[in-house]
Amino acid sequence: MPFVLTKMSEQNDLVKLKVEGMTCTGCAATIEKYLKKNNLKEVRVDFVEGLVQYIPELNTSVETISEGINKLGYRVISHTGDKKKLSLSLVNQLIISGIFTLPLILHHVFPGALKFLHPPYIQFLLSLPAVVIGLNRFLPGAWKSVWSGSPNMDVTICLGAIAAFIYSIIGWVSVRPEMIFFETAASILTLVLLGNYIEHKGVKKTSSSIDDLQKIAVEYGKMQMPSGAVVKIPLMEIGKGDLLIVAEGDAIPLDGVIVAGSGLVDESWISGESVPINKSIKDKVIGASQLISGNFTMKVESVSNETVLSKIIDMVKKASFQKAPIQRLADKISAIFVPTVLIISVLTFLVNYFFISIDLSNSLLRAIAVLVISCPCAMGLATPTAIMAGLGKAMREGILIKGAGTLETLGKTKNIILDKTGTLTHPEIEISYLAAEDEIEIAGMVYAMESKSSHPIAQALIKKLSGFKNPLLLTSHVSEAKGKGLTAVDPNGNRWSIGWSEDTPGIQVSKNDELVAIMKLTDSIKPDAQSFVTQMNHYGITPFLLSGDAQDKVKSVADRLGIQHWQGRLMPDQKVAEIKPIQSSGPTVMVGDGINDGPALSTADVGVSFSQASQVAIQSSQVILLNDKLSTLSKSISVGRQTLSTIKQNLFWAFSYNIVAIPLAAAGYLNPMWGALFMAFSDLVVIGNSLRLMWSRIK
């Protein structure tokens, strides 16, 4: 029975499998092609992590799919520990092959210095372990890939090594030294093993953001027993509502709310803010944050995969699994690459031997060099390594991106649509009560109703009216209408509403349809708003300001920030109507945080919201910013642009390498040993360029 990481019982639920034996993007492509042939949906294959995921058809069992993957030359493994064994096995294979291959390479380079290696039988014995180890690793996958109709890079490697080895044996038996090149067979396989190892380690670094997140997860929480003793409890045994003790220097184990005590909390892992935040009773705390000073008791509100950390890890994993649209070209070329190289190799031998009159040995060497120097992996790695590096870079800046395609679209952005309140401005509110004696009741009801909303205005009201919080004023039937406001019923059956009116400036508060208070808003432009707009103009991105606020207020903000395109008094459906024609001029990003922004965020090519935004806004967005700084929004665009640039550089290198290297090998300028080395080097250039993206400065 295969080990299934995730599997639900119902049709159309995601299945995840651990698979051993994938060594390159060609392997991933082979498995992906097989899964799609079986009409599976949402197919994703990650050769770095050894993960396969898909949505099954009704009559397709996990066992059937696992058996099919096994027949391709891979193995659906039974437990996660096998991954470590696989990595260790690769290291051992590389060391053993290297020990036996190195003398052969030295003999080839310095033939006069190592005369004891001249006898062919010694060269045969030295090459044999490397050939056996290499073919044991690559031949099963090569054979199964040919049998399945999807030949991968293993085919070219094995053909080159086998041809060199058999031809050398023939030369040894027939006593023809010019036909003996055992070092070629051994070095091809050893150098490819070396390339696989370095590639595996390098690609893992581009996806290190997931590992970094998993490392900060806490394993235990402290709970006080009835006896007064404080004991450590594994997180799996902690449930919602449990009370945990957090002492100075501890990492907060799970998400929750403080019920006693206070302290300074470092939330830099999620917000990017290095300054600790003072937290006290009723304040929310996020798991994996660090308590710098103080002590408190917290009530657990989220456990297991419901925590912020778990959701972020899941989001990053899903994003790294997805393919960017730009990868489709590389995938199409990779699919026909190996058959094309095989044809070129055969033609190289025929042309050299029959038409150019090159001797048999050199003609064969040139054909082998073509096989081993070709590198479809570089094309396959070009996009995913850059995407993984870009996602990791974004996450370290407090930017969560839900998909690889989103990162690419950010890099191509031509228009950015901004909401006013909460995005460009901070709302400041002045409340006028029509009946002063009812101030406490009105303020308490406004607080109770607005606490149900995550709109920036609601958050500003909650902060302003925090002193009027009254547990007795629990509301029922609270509803929020997009772009209009809130309605509720208090414990006495009174109907309350908070919202805009065409006749009266400001936000009206009504009780039983009678006006009882008016709230006037003024806007304080965020400190980094001007620099953000300037940066967008510098990028060639056109900013638009679309808001539901009054025309004069929207115009005032637009004029102060130099935004030429603006529109006020827009209902949610009107925002959508405004966005559609803007999209015709290029990829469009929408930034918003209220429930009324949901339709617009879904309509835009990329929706962006802040982590404090409404659930509707967050669910409608592909990018979530973990703080409310516009500089973070600017960084998300910059990371997208840098990632897209890195992908293009990688693809240019991958295509250029093969266009130049294959003809050089066919013409005899590169022997198979150097061909194998250059093939590994080609992968490293792509990986290194992607790693450079991770640490480059955001412009």
Q: For residues 478 and 497, what is the distance between their CA atoms, to the nearest angstrom?
A: 10
Closest CA to 374 of 24, 678, 88: 678
- DSSP H or E segment with residue 255: strand 255-266
- Helix extents (H) in 176-307: 182-206, 208-215, 268-271
Q: For residues 410 and 639, what is the distance between their CA atoms, to the nearest angstrom?
A: 8
Residue whose tokens read 């040894």: 172
Our answer to whether residue 419 is catalytic in this structure is yes
Q: Which amino acid is it at 19?
A: V
Kindly calculate the radius of gyration of the chain based on its CA atoms and give it in whole angstroms.
32
For the chain, the helix, strand and coil percentages under 3-state DSSP, each to the nearest 5: 55, 20, 25
- DSSP state at residue 421: B
Encoding tokens for residue 581?
A: 């024609």
Closest CA to 1 of 79, 56, 71, 100: 79
Q: For residues 91 and 249, what is the distance between their CA atoms, to the nearest angstrom?
A: 39
Closest CA to 374 of 409, 342, 406, 331: 342
At 604, give phi and psi (nearest 5°): -65, 160
At 14, give phi and psi (nearest 5°): -70, 135
Q: Which residues contact 546 (CB under 8 A, 6 or more apart)?
A: 417, 418, 419, 566, 567, 570, 575, 578, 579, 600
Residue whose tokens read 């990779």: 334
Out of 154, 266, 419, 490, the active site residue is 419
- Check if the beta carbon of residue 217 is closer than 8 Å to that of residue 309: yes
Q: Which residues form the catalytic set?
A: 419
